[in-house]
């Protein structure tokens, strides 16, 4: 399996966690992208310190302000990226920014549901729309007829989980808004174990997953994007990054098993190998297909 080779990539939520991990991995590649657009809400603030340090050493890293719930911010970011790229397009858009509120069902609110749905689901939709012209340009400028990530692609970082039938972890955290924003796909296990999203990963290799109705939010959005953008030469895929050691991963108060490096390395390996046949699929960080 070869190294992922892209001329330009944009990562949302790049100031910490998995997003920062993607940026670090791209910078360390033997053939790094010519342009790495690392977006975050406050590029000059303390929370972007690590990105700022990296940008001072790597001229191919450009930090761009982006709030994924704000259409004006997304539009401004797309315009800035377009200016940097000159006449060429954007090869890879990684919609990574996301949030969770580890609330219990009884404490879930209209505000929390709305905020999380807007961030985790509507954000990636708006990003796809705003960056479509640049992605199309990248696809048009690449030789060959098939789809690939080095040509033009959208990778949505989602999550897996069952909700109603799998109460494992339910005692720990309900996170209803998070589940609804990403993970309404119902996964059927031989035993009725309710699972909180990241906790599902250890079970994947031991239990048979049965495909059921695709009523996902971000997952379904990816499917729609794959159908709508295929004719423009853009591959669309959604990832479960595993249960990863980040602020979000530790939100339920337990230490996740996977490091950011392991998760990102795995996803980059998968991104380097996927093609036309994989568009619209839901994969984990090891490339295993997760039934919708
Ligand atoms: P972190 O909490 O470490 O980082 C989240 C990132 O998203 C931060 O950069 C944050 O920026 C950014 N972000 C949040 N809201 C917005 C917004 N409205 N606009 C722009 N940026 C925003 O989380 P992870 O790195 O763990 O998560 C990355 C992705 O992976 C998420 O989509 C998450 O759902 C998914 N995932 C993670 C799992 C895990 O175990 N870690 C498991 C399954 C899925 P800021 O610093 O400004 O808050």
Instruction: Answer for the pair 32, 6: CB distance below 8 angstroms, yes or no.
Output: no
Substitution candidate for ligand 1 out of 20, 63, 241 with most atoms within 8 A of CB: 241
> What is the secondary structure of 9-65 as a DSSP string?
EEESSTTSHHHHHHHHHHHHSSS--SEEEEEES-TTSGGGHHHHHHHHH-TTEEEEE
Ordered strands of the 61-65 beta sheet:
61-65, 35-40, 8-11, 92-95, 153-157, 235-240, 282-284
For residue 201, the surrounding DSSP H or E stretch is helix 201-204
Confidence (pLDDT) at 53: 98
Ligand 1 midpoint to CA 146 (Å): 31
The three-point CA angle 45-249-190 to 5° equals: 160
Confidence (pLDDT) at 109: 93
Ligand 1 midpoint to CA 139 (Å): 28
Domain boundaries, the chain: 8-284
Confidence (pLDDT) at 219: 81
176 lines ligand 1 (CB under 6 A): no
Ligand 1 midpoint to CA 17 (Å): 7
98 lines ligand 1 (CB under 6 A): yes
Of 124, 263, 102, nearest in space to 178 by CA: 102
Confidence (pLDDT) at 216: 55
8-284 is classed in which CATH architecture?
Answer: 3-Layer(aba) Sandwich (3.40)
Residue 181, both tokens: 């924003």
Residue 275 DSSP code? B
What b/e sequence results for 70-102 when a residue is b if at least 16 CB atoms lie within 10 Å of its CB, and e otherwise? eeebbebbbebbbeebeebbbbbbbbbbbbbbb
Ligand 1 midpoint to CA 145 (Å): 34
Supply the residue whose CA is at minimum distance from atom 43 of ligand 1. 159
Residue 150 Cα to chain centre, angstroms: 17
> What is the secondary structure of 225-269 as a DSSP string?
HHHHHGGGT-EEEEEE--SBSSTTTTTTSS--SB-HHHHHHHHHH
Question: Three-class SS of residue 285?
Answer: coil
19 lines ligand 1 (CB under 6 A): yes
Ligand 1 midpoint to CA 97 (Å): 4
Confidence (pLDDT) at 61: 98
Nearest atom, ligand 1, residue 18 CA: 25
Confidence (pLDDT) at 292: 66
Instruction: Answer for the pair 274, 235: CB distance below 8 angstroms, yes or no.
Output: yes
Q: Is the ipTM of this complex over 0.85?
A: yes
Nearest atom, ligand 1, residue 100 CA: 34
Confidence (pLDDT) at 196: 38
pLDDT in tens, 164-219: 334 334 566 777 788 777 754 333 332 223 333 344 433 333 333 333 332 358 88
Ligand 1 midpoint to CA 99 (Å): 5
pLDDT (tens place) for every residue of the chain, 292 residues total? 568 999 999 999 999 999 999 999 999 999 999 999 999 999 999 999 999 999 999 999 999 999 999 999 999 999 999 999 999 999 999 999 999 888 888 988 999 999 999 999 999 999 999 999 999 999 999 988 899 999 999 999 988 653 333 433 456 677 778 877 775 433 333 222 333 334 443 333 333 333 333 235 888 889 899 999 999 999 999 998 988 999 999 988 889 999 999 999 999 999 999 999 999 998 999 999 876 6
Supply the residue whose CA is at minimum distance from atom 39 of ligand 1. 249
13 lines ligand 1 (CB under 6 A): yes
Ligand 1 midpoint to CA 162 (Å): 20
Contact residues for 224 (Cβ-Cβ < 8 A; gap 6+) = none
119 lines ligand 1 (CB under 6 A): yes
- Max CA-CA distance within the chain? 55
For residue 283, the surrounding DSSP H or E stretch is strand 282-284
Ligand 1 midpoint to CA 190 (Å): 31
Determine the Cα–Cα distance for residues 59 and 113; give it in Å rounded to an integer. Answer: 39
Beta strand residue intervals within 152-225, DSSP E: 153-157
Confidence (pLDDT) at 179: 73
151 lines ligand 1 (CB under 6 A): no
């Amino acid at each position: 399996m070869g190294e992922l080779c892209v001329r330009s990539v944009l990562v949302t939520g790049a100031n910490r966690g998995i997003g920062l991990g993607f940026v670090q991995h791209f910078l360390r590649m033997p053939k790094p992208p010519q342009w790495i657009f690392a977006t975050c809400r406050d590029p000059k603030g303390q929370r972007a310190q690590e990105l700022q340090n990296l940008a001072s050493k790597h001229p191919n890293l450009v930090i761009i302000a982006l709030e994924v719930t704000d259409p004006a911010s997304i539009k401004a970011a797309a315009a800035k990226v377009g200016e940097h790229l000159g006449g060429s397009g954007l090869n890879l858009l990684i919609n990574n920014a996301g949030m969770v509120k580890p609330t219990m069902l009884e404490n879930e609110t209209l505000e929390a549901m709305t905020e999380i749905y807007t961030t985790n689901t509507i954000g990636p939709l708006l990003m796809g729309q705003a960056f479509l012209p640049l992605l199309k340009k990248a696809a048009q400028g690449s030789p060959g007829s098939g789809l690939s990530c080095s040509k033009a692609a959208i990778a949505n970082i989602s999550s897996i989980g069952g909700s109603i039938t799998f109460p494992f972890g339910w005692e720990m955290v309900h996170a209803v808004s998070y589940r609804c924003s990403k993970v309404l796909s119902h996964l059927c296990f031989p035993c009725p174990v309710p699972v909180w999203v990241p906790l599902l990963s250890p079970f994947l290799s031991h239990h048979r997953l049965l495909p059921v109705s695709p009523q996902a939010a971000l997952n379904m959005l990816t499917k729609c994007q794959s159908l709508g953008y295929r004719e423009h030469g853009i591959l669309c895929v959604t990832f479960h990054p595993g249960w990863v050691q980040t602020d979000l991963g530790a939100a339920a108060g337990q230490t996740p098993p996977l490091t950011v490096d392991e998760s990102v390395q795995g996803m980059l390996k998968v991104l380097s190998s996927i093609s036309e046949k994989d568009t619209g699929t839901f994969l984990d960080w090891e490339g295993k297909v997760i039934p919708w």
